[in-house]
Amino acid sequence: MAQRRDPSHEIREICRTAARIFYEKGYDGASMQDIADAVGLTKAGLYHHVGSKDRLLFEIMNYGMDILDEAVVSRVLQIADPTERLRQTIIGHIDLVVRTRNIEITVILHENRSLKGELRDKINTRKQAYIHLIEQTIADVQARTPAPPLLSPKLAAFALLGMINWLYQWYRRDGPVQQEELAQAYGDFFFRGLLGRS
C-alpha cells in the first residue's frame, strides 16, 4: 500500500472521483461533502488534501491537460510529416473525448466557465498551447500545398476542435459507428475541408 501514500497519486485518485461527481451533478450542484463521502474522507480531510473546491476543479482540469499532453501531444510532436502529425492528433483527440474513462476531459470541456481568476488563466494558457500546436500543424500542412490556403489556420483549428469536442454530447461507443470508422471519416472530412481534396 506504499503507493497510496504518494501524495500526487492520492490527489489523482481524488481528482478522478471528484470529476465523476462534477460530471453527474455539475460543478455548482456538487458539494465538498458529496466528494468527501465518495472518496472516503471527512470533509476536513478533503480540504486538507485539495485546499478548496476551486482548487479541486483546477487540479482535475490540470490532470486532464496532463492526460492530453501524455496521450496526444508528446506522441505527435515526434512525427515529422505535418499531414501525418495532424491525422494522429485527430485520432488521439477523438480517443480522449469518446473514452468514458477520461472523464477529466469532459469536465474541462463542460465546466470551462466555472473556474475563475488565476487558476482559470493557468488552464487557459495550457489550452492555448494546444490550440497553437494545432494551428501551427495546419499551417505546415497548408504550406506543403501548392494552392493558396482556403481557410485561416485559426478558423480551421476551431472547426476541428468543435467537431471533436462536440462528440461528448452525442457519440456513444456502444452505438452503430465504431470509433475507428468515426476517426477515419472525420479525419478525411477535415482534410477535404482544409485542402479541397482528400
Please identify which residue in 79, 122, 171, 179 interacts with a second copy, judged by CB under 8 A. 171
**Among the residue ranges 70-78, 117-125, 139-147, 157-165, the one whose residues contact a second copy (CB under 8 A):** 157-165
| Cβ-Cβ contacts under 8 Å for 133 (sequence gap 6 or more) | 73, 89
The nearest distance, CB 3 to a second copy, in angstroms, is: 34
53 vs 47: CA distance, rounded Å: 8
Q: Does 180 bind a second copy (CB under 8 A)?
A: no
Query: Binding to a second copy (CB under 8 A): which residues in 11-30?
Result: 25-30
Residues 6 or more apart in contact with residue 168 via CB below 8 angstroms: 97, 98, 105, 106, 109, 110
Q: Does 114 bind a second copy (CB under 8 A)?
A: yes
User: Residue count at the site for a second copy (CB under 8 A)?
Assistant: 41
Stretch that binds a second copy, among 37-45, 75-83, 135-143, 182-190 (CB under 8 A): 182-190
Amino acid (1-letter code) at residue 9? H
CA-nearest of 1, 34, 7, 2 to 18 is: 34
146 binds a second copy (CB under 8 A): no
Q: In the complex, what is the shortest distance from the CB of residue 160 to a second copy, in angstroms, rounded to a whole number?
A: 8
120 binds a second copy (CB under 8 A): no
Q: Residue 52: CA atoms inside 13 Å, Cβ hemisphere, count? A: 6
Least separation, in Å, of the C-beta of 75 and a second copy?
A: 24
Q: What are phi and psi of 145, to 5 degrees?
A: -100, 130
Alpha-carbon distances of 26 from 76, 113, 137, rounded to whole Å: 33, 12, 34
List residues binding a second copy (CB under 8 A). Answer: 25-30, 110, 112-114, 150-152, 154-156, 158-159, 161-167, 169-171, 177, 182, 185-186, 188-190, 192-194, 196-198
